[in-house]
Amino acid sequence: MKKISIDPITRLEGHGRIDIFLDEEGEVANAYLVIPELRGFEKFCQGRPVEELPRITARICGVCPEAHLMASAKACDAVYHVDPPPAGKKLRELFYSAFYVADHTTHFYILGAPDFVMGPDADPAVRNILGVIAKVGVETGGKVIEARARSLDIIKMLGARTVHPIGAIPGGMSKPLSAEERVDVEESARWMVDFAQFTIQLFNDLVLANKEYVDLILSDPYTLPTYYMGLVDDKNRVNFYDGLVRVVDPEGEELVKYAPAQYLDNVAERVEPWTYVKIPYLKKIGWKGFVGGKDSGVYQATPLSRLNAADGMATPLAQAEYERMYETLGGKPVHQTLATHWARIIELLYAAERLLELTMDPEITDRNVRTIPTETPTEGVGIVEAPRGTLTHHYVTDEQGLVTECNLIVGTTNNIAPMSISIRQAAQGLIKKGEVISEGLLNMVEMAFRAYDPCMSCATHALPGRMPLEVRILDSTGQLVERLSQGLA
């Protein structure tokens, strides 16, 4: 049997690898997503004072530390049985909305756009952010840099730093937003709403107007019906910061809607000896292997999943786009994983609109942003939507608030099983008996999991544009038969 290892070179030395096994006939027998890295936060958070965990667990990920900061602070609130004052919660959500603008902008323009703007089989030398800028204009590149800069300035305003910001603590936020700062945030939020609309227009013009791309989105190798997960508010609309976790089945019917404290009734994790990452699945449905469908506990937690799991968006412009996406793609739920790129920019628009709403809230500059905990700490679960999926932090403490148990189900890991299936499906659909494996073909396989924005140990954000891949074809004795690479110097 032959083995094809797709090593994202950027991650090769410790962060992620795909092994594709071919059978004797040269057909794809199976594909495995292998994560060769572990750091063990669940163990070494034991013994730490729980209020320090927002700052400690942020170090899980340098790309999305804001998500860990917020999930952890919410878990701490629960541990201390404390409810932050309204301005504390709103400031957290404001901070988190600004983060979403930066993160979704980065993914869409730098990782996702090259495939669609330049074309999946374009020369790798131009299939990157520089190629995108050359094609759509240098002023667009400037806007992308500005969107990130404006977002990071808001994060630093409240969190003191841009990478590994602080500020979220048990009971609220460590400092309020001043009236002068609010004016700056409002100005940026207005700019971001315009930017998000510009982004959607760009997507319309470059992707939706191109039948070839729409056909690609709708094609079988990129279609994977599973359960879908996402946080929703009290009207079942998407929310990134707070709410209940809703899971819908592949037909879009609600399976369950659960509060953070009930996560153990709903999610379980499987251990496989060939990878360091655990593989979550829906406990009530059960593990049936790496397969999709209604009988399998495999679920997706992505921007598209969040839209599928919700009934709509809580802001007007995003809601209009939400409706247009489902009309265009033939109703809910959408199973086409490449449509995740579209869902992501609808969320970008929502994040910008929500940021603006929050800056206009009269309470946002209230000085009362903290409630001092008074009760004995016990146990708590905090859940937010990280850009890459539902993020769960669960802590148990002794009565001094020192952590005795720490459990983490991190954004990307939710999607390990569906990514594995998507990769296998794409490989099976594209790699056929006797066919020469071309660079373009490899990219098509890679696109299957790039849609998930995987963040193995938190930084598969390969800038600018794409993970270099290498395929090693090995025969059954492990001898190298052929080496193909793409996007490499």
Identify the residue among 84, 221, 280, 418 touching other proteins (CB under 8 A): 280
**Under rule CB under 8 A, residue 405 binds other proteins:** yes
Distance of CA 213 to the CA centre of its chain: 23
**Under rule CB under 8 A, residue 76 binds other proteins:** yes
Q: Residue 298: name the closest of 466, 201, 199, 425 by CA.
A: 425
Cβ at position 232, least distance to other proteins in Å:
21
Cβ at position 478, least distance to other proteins in Å:
8
**Under rule CB under 8 A, residue 283 binds other proteins:** yes
Dihedral sign for Cα atoms in the order 72, 75, 80, 85: positive
Question: Where does 313-452 have alpha helices with state H?
Answer: 316-329, 340-359, 416-430, 439-450
**Under rule CB under 8 A, residue 112 binds other proteins:** no
Q: Which stretch binds other proteins (CB under 8 A): 1-9, 186-194, 342-350, 423-431?
A: 1-9
CB burial readout 281-301, b (16+ within 10 A) else e: bbeebebeebebeeebbbbbb
Angle at 385 between CA 256 and CA 446, to 5 degrees: 100
CA 298/CA 425 separation, integer angstroms: 15
Identify the residue among 56, 224, 248, 351 touching other proteins (CB under 8 A): 56
**Under rule CB under 8 A, residue 270 binds other proteins:** yes
**Under rule CB under 8 A, residue 86 binds other proteins:** no
Question: In a 3-state reduction of DSSP, which class is residue 275?
Answer: coil
Contacts (Cβ under 8 Å, ≥6 apart) of 311: 232, 235, 236, 237
CA 419/CA 306 separation, integer angstroms: 16
**Under rule CB under 8 A, residue 372 binds other proteins:** yes
Identify the residue among 89, 143, 341, 466 touching other proteins (CB under 8 A): 466
Would you report the helix, strand and coil content of the chain in percent, each value rounded to 5? 45, 20, 35
On the 0-12 / 13-18 / 19+ scale of CB atoms within 10 A, 230 is buried
What is the size of the binding site for other proteins (CB under 8 A)? 101
For residues 415 and 33, is the Cβ–Cβ distance under 8 A?
no
**Under rule CB under 8 A, residue 450 binds other proteins:** no
x-marked contacts with other proteins along 17-36 as a string, rule CB under 8 A: --x-x-x-----xx-x-x-x
Name which of 418 and 468 has its Cβ closer to other proteins.
468
Identify the residue among 211, 234, 251, 274 touching other proteins (CB under 8 A): 274
x-marked contacts with other proteins along 201-220 as a string, rule CB under 8 A: --------------------
Distance of CA 226 to the CA centre of its chain: 17
Name which of 320 and 396 has its Cβ closer to other proteins.
396
Identify the residue among 194, 212, 272, 363 touching other proteins (CB under 8 A): 272
Question: In a 3-state reduction of DSSP, which class is residue 367?
Answer: coil
Within positions 240 to 269, which residues make up the interface with other proteins, using CB under 8 A? Answer: 263-264, 267-269
Within positions 385 to 404, which residues make up the interface with other proteins, using CB under 8 A? Answer: 394, 400-402
**Under rule CB under 8 A, residue 163 binds other proteins:** yes
Cβ at position 23, least distance to other proteins in Å:
8
Q: Residue 184: name the closest of 151, 162, 139 by CA.
A: 151
Cβ at position 212, least distance to other proteins in Å:
25
**Under rule CB under 8 A, residue 370 binds other proteins:** yes
